[in-house]
Amino acid sequence: MKCIKSTKDNKIKRLSDVEAEKFVKTNQWKYVPKNEFKAQFSMPSDEELRKKYPANVEGSPEFNEANKVSRNDHVMKFKRKGVKI
């Protein structure tokens, strides 16, 4: 099995040796390491997630602030209704 990558749109495929060789001979595909193929299916690290979605990662300052605001809103609704918390 070989991994190949399109030189046009960066698609990565995993094919048998014979099939991959046919694609590479067209000069529109090139061989790439297997870890590059696997990377397209792997989960991002916590650090990558924090950078991409800072308010959605538990423990981040943005997440904590959003929770604090949400809790305060929830408590205020009950207080307005006369419920003791």
pLDDT in tens, 9-54: 999 999 999 999 999 999 999 999 999 998 888 777 777 766 776 6
Closest CA to 11 of 3, 22, 19: 3
pTM of the model: 0.52
Q: What is the DSSP letter of 54?
A: G
In this structure, the number of other CB atoms found within 10 A of the CB of residue 79 comes to 11
Q: 61-84, pLDDT tens digit by residue?
A: 777 777 677 666 656 665 665 655
